[in-house]
Amino acid sequence: MPKKFIEGTELVRAGFANGISSQLAKKQEKEGPEARLNAEEKQVIIDNAAKAYADFLTALGCDYADDPNSSDTPMRVAKAYVNDLWAGRYDPLDRITAFPSDGYDGMVFEGGIPLTSMCSHHHQTIMGKVHVAYIPGKDSKVIGLSKLNRLVEHFGRRGAIQEQLTVAIHNSINTIINDNNGVAVMIDATHNCVSCRGVKHGGASMKTSKLTGAFKDDTSTRAEFYEFVKGY
């Protein structure tokens, strides 16, 4: 039976910027951890957010209602948050499948996984790549390859600071393959909150990593991981 990735993976309580939404949390409390918000429930969130964003634009002195280019902007922005930018807050992570490894105990590496996320501080985009690796234990399973991409997409589509996002992806893999011999996650990303505001420096990137098991304790394993990363 495939493992389900539910317990032990949330870093913060529901409602925080990089956690699940308070609406989803309340439904899961009543119906269980696999409960999902339906289309009508999401539409209520979108409608309320659109109204609040309209008030926000008005407070900034933007006459959006009379501008043909902006009259629908509050609804567009609300839909973008719920359906795209913050989609990981409003849907639980889908079932993550794992398969017998038939004794394989070498490194499993996937590099260059595309990342689109949003800074929790200024709601500016984070764009980059994620590199992940793990070493299954003797009798453990391996994660379906595309599911590593789904993990990155789910946590990225919440809003986060990069350090917490790195830990969240690492912890999810560590939970699914709980008898592993090591997990490594590295993120290399650019932040629009650096290039578009404040210091306004474009071109800078941020690298974060979390290594456990053999990746942390064995220099040759760590070197092998970073050698793979160089290809991206």
Q: Are 118 and 159 in contact (CB under 8 A)?
A: yes
Structure letter (DSSP) for residue 119: B
Q: Are 50 and 58 in contact (CB under 8 A)?
A: no
How much is the mean pLDDT over the chain? 91
pLDDT one-digit tens code per residue, 113-169? 999 999 999 999 999 999 999 999 988 889 988 999 999 999 999 988 999 999 999
Same domain, 41 and 128: no
- Angle ∠(152,157,161) on CA atoms, nearest 5: 85
- Please state the domain count of the chain: 2
Least confident of 40-44, 160-164, 175-179: 175-179
In-domain check, residue 24: no
Q: What is the pTM of this model?
A: 0.91
Give the residue from 72, 90, 108 where a domain finishes.
90
SS3 percent helix, strand, coil of the chain, rounded to 5, is 40, 20, 40
Range(s) of the domain holding residue 140: 98-229
> What percent of the chain shows pLDDT beyond 70?
94
Same domain, 209 and 191: yes
In-domain check, residue 20: no
Same domain, 125 and 215: yes
In-domain check, residue 25: no
Same domain, 147 and 57: no
Nearest to 211 by CA among 105, 147, 131, 143: 131
Distance CA 73, CA 154 (A): 25
Same domain, 172 and 201: yes
Span 165-183, average pLDDT: 92
In single-letter form, the type of residue at position 79 comes to K
Same domain, 106 and 67: no
Nearest to 170 by CA among 130, 141, 142: 130
Bridge partners (DSSP) of residue 209 are: 186
In-domain check, residue 175: yes
How does residue 80 score in pLDDT terms, banded at 50, 70 and 90? very high
Taking each helix axis as running N to C, give the angle between helix 22-31 and helix 39-59, from 0 to 180 degrees, rounded to the nearest 10. Answer: 160
In-domain check, residue 5: no
Nearest to 24 by CA among 90, 75, 117: 90
